[in-house]
Amino acid sequence: MSNFAKFFIDGKWTEPSTQNYLDVIDPSTEKPFAQIAMGTAGDVDLAVQAARRAFDSYSQTTVEDRIAIFKKAADIFKRRQREIAAIVTREMGSPITFSLEAQTATCVGHLEAIVDILSQYSFEEVSGSTLIAKEPIGVVGLITPWNWPILQIVVKVLPALAAGCTIVLKPSEVAPLDATIFAEVLDEAGLPAGVFNLINGDGPTVGEAISSHPGIDMVSFTGSTRAGILVAKAAADTVKRVTQELGGKSANVLLDDADLATAVREGVIACFANSGQSCDAPTRMLVHKTQYDEAINIARAVAAEQTIGNPNDAATVLGPVASEMQFSKIQGLIQKGIDEGATVVAGGVGKPEGFDVGFYVRPTIFANVNNDMAIAKEEIFGPVLCVIPYEDEEDAIEIANDTQYGLAAYVQSADPAKARRIARKLRAGSVFINYPDWDVKAPFGGYKQSGNGRESGHHAISEYLEIKSMIGHG
């Protein structure tokens, strides 16, 4: 636990510049179990200086050198996976089985995939008489969220390192501890000093300092749309590149030829996974009006089956949400749904029976929802599903696209060609057809106010590169 209250700067664990500490709260007990130091703009500046010094040499390393580091990091991560999963469970409430099989298993997938992606990536191409070189953009600031804390670090750090960039990372202060372990993993893997730097802190202080720092060439942010706007504004004065993965309100279109029982069941489970705290969760289930009542009955039964419990219990499916602030926000939106006339068919306000302690939310399903209601418009970020009827395919597409967001969408159909035809009409960065397995090489990112830029796959490396044209033959 000793490194949790320190920062990782220039290859060393260093004391913070001020003695300002924040408790890390276990959301299942509502009690603190660790502390982190809260950084300042001065701490960020030291990290940026280290990253700038390291950039000249690291940016010139070979692809083979970088691959060797990734291979070592993958081995070390796998060795420490259970430890990391346990920390994620403790800091943000993800059930331990989910922490092992999703939160950290996806990281292993990305660590293995980056080796294959980088080995095939071309950093040069020829167009006519021009040699086009793709060069690392420089020092990048990475600001990551609490809902998939270690995964969001991995999907930013790996492509940045693959591109040849150096890094200053600020993880969420709600779930910061896994970042410390990942810093130890990279250090043990042989990453040179100064290439990766870690500063803990809050958004208004450390996030602002990263976003506005003239020594940082790019910022990649994942979080709420509101916070993403603030990052972009802070970055504007230094004309740095900003990529953002922001909010979502993803529609799940159940076409009338889909197996209804399977489509509804899997849709409810996907919505409630991670206690609903995923930006791409299918939170609006669109069902043909002739199947609506049957779908509601199926959804109600599936909600009742969800095992709520201590997140350290391997049988638990739904743990607490990550913080008291998140709990209060979800409760307010559930109440708003009731006030606006939606029908609660499962769950509702308050904690589940028998859970007086911990930020537990009743898994909730609303029927008789229309797209003008707050619960259909706003990202609730909890285990809350809205079921909305539609008239025909055109109506379903219109409802699905009637949102400020465009991160993800889902389509269920017995006809893959029809599903893909509908998918092409949905304004979303990812469309998941018939609940596929996760593809670690699929680019991930949003349309509209869900952000810009892509993570995962070879597209992610491109985000961290500048394009240089060398015209003529010299």
CA distance 61 to 72: 16
59: left (phi over 0), alpha (psi -120 to 50) or beta: alpha
Angle at 14 between CA 11 and CA 15, to 5 degrees: 170
* Beta strands per DSSP E along 128-278: 130-136, 139-143, 166-170, 196-198, 218-222, 241-245, 251-254
For 114, the enclosing helix (H) or strand (E) is: helix 105-120
The yes-or-no answer on residue 279 being catalytic is yes
The yes-or-no answer on residue 165 being catalytic is no
Q: Of 272, 300, 308, 247, nearest to 384 (Cα)?
A: 272
Q: Which of 107, 165, 271, 279 is catalytic?
A: 279
The residues with which 337 forms a beta bridge, in sequence order, are none
Q: For residues 238 and 211, is the Cβ–Cβ distance under 8 A? A: no
Neighbours of 5 (CB within 10 A): 19
CA distance 59 to 66: 10
What Å distances lie between residue 260 and 147, 156, 276, 288, 465, CA to CA? 30, 37, 22, 10, 45
Q: Which of 245, 378, 379, 455 is catalytic?
A: 245
Q: Are strands 166-170 and 139-143 parallel, antiparallel or unpaired?
A: parallel
Secondary structure of residue 344 in the 3-state scheme: strand
As annotated, the active-site residues are 245, 279
